[in-house]
Amino acid sequence: MPQLYALSATEIVARVAARTLSAREATEAALARMDAVNPAINAVVKPLHDEARAAADAVDAAIARGETPGILAGVPITVKVNVDQAGHETTNGLSIQKDHKAEADNPVIANLKKAGAIIIGRTNTPAFSLRWFTSNNLHGATKNPWNPAITPGGSSGGAGAAVAAGIGALGHGTDIGGSVRYPAYACGIHGIRPTLGRVPAWNASLPERDIGAQLMAVSGPLARSIADLRLSLEAMSAPDMRDPWYTPVPMTGPPAPKRAALCIRPEGMKVAPEVEAALRGAARRLQDAGYTVVEVDALPPLREPARLQSQLWLTSLPRGGLAMAQREGEPASLAIYDYMQRLTQPADFHGFQDALTARAGFLRQWMMFFEKYPVVICPVSGELPFADQQDVQSFEAFQAVLEAQLTQVGLPLMGLPGLTVSTGMVSRTPVGVQLLAGRFREDLLFAAGAAIEAAGTPHTPVDPA
């Protein structure tokens, strides 16, 4: 019998509905687990004990009245410090925003609350949610519960570490360049970057984001099971017209052939032997589940979309972004902005126009490819999870990290969904694969992900090393 804190979200929902477990009991177990293990990993930087208990009691009271309090009723969850939660600071890992208190919930937070989820704490992110490593001047560094020598990922590193360690069944994350997919990979769990428009999100406390970020940034869940990802994505996707990109598309699309393309080295990227072994193992798992898997030498473009993604991201720097980074004075983010500009200068007007125009062509190529292969199997990263803080060791180290992350950075330009599925361990280091599909076909990702998961994943929750 697993500990209460180790129960999946789907198990908690079923038990709470059957009244064999109360929301308060599930919440107390998650809070106790947080108190026990969070000091070792610093995943949750603002625990919310009192609010969580009050929310759990409200769920139990609703059930006692015969009401149905939502599809995540009683599920403990963490949320990231870069989204507005009424009454709390949207720090984004910044000292200059330590007192920046939100007055209203971001739509994704509102949807989680409406679904009956119990928010037990707010999780760490790197300064500006910028890196694949999680540290900042305000909240400190988050450690990977499997191995403190490797990164927990970023920018949702706090969320990934919390879920892997059993601090809540689910974690909210955001992804503009791998920030859900990479922490899931590094922490031995699963995470989905949804299609642009699937999950409504907007921070009322901050200025409107530049168009590049609007086209690429999404909120999505991290979890220890594919079933929990599916359930939590449905909860997050409830309508909220405050997000003009929100699109009311059903969670399940028309039937598609069980056919997948396996690409080991997209656009010639270097892939470690352990990563290749995980990819081929996942392909065999899909074949055993009835999929036809075809190994292909190439996918539609990722390298040029990755360059344009960085270029659109950097347009914020001359428009006040760099001045803000300098005011924060956080060494790692200043170094990364410098490295990024050395590789790709911010676009001028014509370059900005060309980048947005090229986006349509790249998306067209990908959607046509998905007509033949509804699912793609490719690396999350070309390397096993990096040594912690590897990206700031030197410009050359950053270049190597960026190259290994090609499949993460290239995808968001097109607004496409991607799923990280954890598949195993290499000694004390998790490894996994990434699945891609067409717009709003998260259902195909979940079906393939569940088939891969069924053959075995790392045992979680893990006690921090």
Q: Please list the active-site residues.
A: 80, 155, 179
Q: Please give the span between the terminal C-alpha atoms of the chain, in angstroms, as a whole number.
A: 23
Could you tell me the two tokens for 255?
Answer: 């039937």
Sign of CA dihedral 189, 369, 381, 136: negative
Could you tell me the two tokens for 50?
Answer: 């009192």
Q: Cα–chain-centroid distance for residue 178?
A: 7
DSSP label of 448: H
DSSP label of 7: -
d(CA 291, CA 451): 10
d(CA 23, CA 102): 26
d(CA 76, CA 168): 5
Helix, strand and coil content of the chain, in percent to the nearest 5, comes to 45, 15, 40
Number of other CB atoms surrounding residue 304 within 10 Å? 15
Q: What are the C-alpha distances in Å from 70 to residues 3, 117, 260?
A: 24, 8, 35
Cα-based angle 273, 298, 151 (whole degrees, multiple of 5): 40
Half-sphere exposure in the Cβ direction for 346 (13 Å, CA): 14
Residues 6+ apart with CB under 8 A from 365: 300, 301
Could you tell me the two tokens for 136?
Answer: 């900042």
Q: Give the chain's radius of gyration (CA, Å).
A: 20
Burial 16-49 (b: 16+ CB within 10 A, else e): beeeebbbbbbbbbbbebbeebbeebbbbbbbbe
